[in-house]
Amino acid sequence: FVPSSRGGGSASSDFKGFTLLMPAVSVGNVGQLATDLVISTLNMTKVGYFYTDCLVPMVGNNPYATAEENSMELSINAEVYSLPSKKLVVLQIRSPFIKNKYRPFCQTLLSWVKSSKCARVVLLSSSHAYQRDDEQLLGTPLRYLLTPDLEKAVGGLMQELNWKEMEKVAAYPGINDTEKVLHIPGGGITKLLFTESCSKGIQMAVLLKFCSEGDNIPDAFALVNYLNEWLQLVKSEVNTSSQWKIPSSWRLLFGNGLPPALF
């Protein structure tokens, strides 16, 4: 983690007791879109970036521009935003992983989580809807996972919310249905990061949605509302799309359209 000069120097790198929210680069980019909504709605301050050689290099304009003056600010592939009033720090990832770099990234990330004294990590993810088993087809398309250390702290709350835990599936369907494994197809680093957190004693929650590639904006709203049920980032009686502020960059999600001069 490299603090920015505008983020408040050394104070910006101390996240003791904070919740770290981040996306997995997964099917439909749902986690990244949901993270965009959190940063934009809470008007979070950029406090630095996460330097890594595990992501495809990328640079672009400020995705959360609110006026012409700040629209020319540059953003890169992994940036950190903070909101001390809610004890929330967000790592937004904007580019895919380089092949065979999942594990080094997870190790670097989790060592930062420990050194920065973050209390817990919440990973927003997604998984291929078409690869669900029969049990996963029932009810809500939203699921959660908790590491053993976080289960002790918030497991009861998840039961109160009537959330469904991500089911384990048969390791060898049709041959041996008794051996069950965690399977998150299309989830990117989700499974690796979760299992590493379990073994390292890190408190981590995974919130994910089954979805398909396409217009994944509705999936992002569903996932961020799911997150809000637990963390209450935005106060509301009923979770709706209107309580979230759509960032300016979303106008370009599907391109600019055909230039009128062509007609």
- pLDDT tens digit string along 230-262? 998 988 656 566 789 998 888 877 766 666 766
Higher local confidence (pLDDT), 261 or 4: 4
CATH numbers and ranges of domains, the chain: 21-232+243-253 (3.40.50.10900)
134, pLDDT greater than 60: yes
Pair type for strands 142-146 and 204-211:
antiparallel
Q: Do 90 and 80 meet the contact criterion of CB atoms below 8 Å apart?
A: yes
Which of these ranges, 22-31, 132-141, 205-214, has the smallest mean pLDDT?
Answer: 132-141
Helices and strands (H and E) in the chain: how many:
6, 12
209, pLDDT greater than 90: yes
Tell me the average pLDDT across 150-157.
87
In whole angstroms, what is the distance from residue 205 CA to residue 229 CA? 14
62, pLDDT greater than 70: yes
Question: How many Å is the Cα radius of gyration of the chain?
Answer: 19
CA proximity to 61, closest of 91, 94, 35: 94
Q: Do 47 and 12 meet the contact criterion of CB atoms below 8 Å apart?
A: yes
161 DSSP 8-state letter: T
Phi and psi torsions of 2, nearest 5°: -115, 110
Letter for the amino acid at 223?
Answer: L
Q: How does pLDDT run across 5-46, given as a tens digit for each residue?
A: 654 444 446 788 999 999 999 999 999 999 999 999 999 999
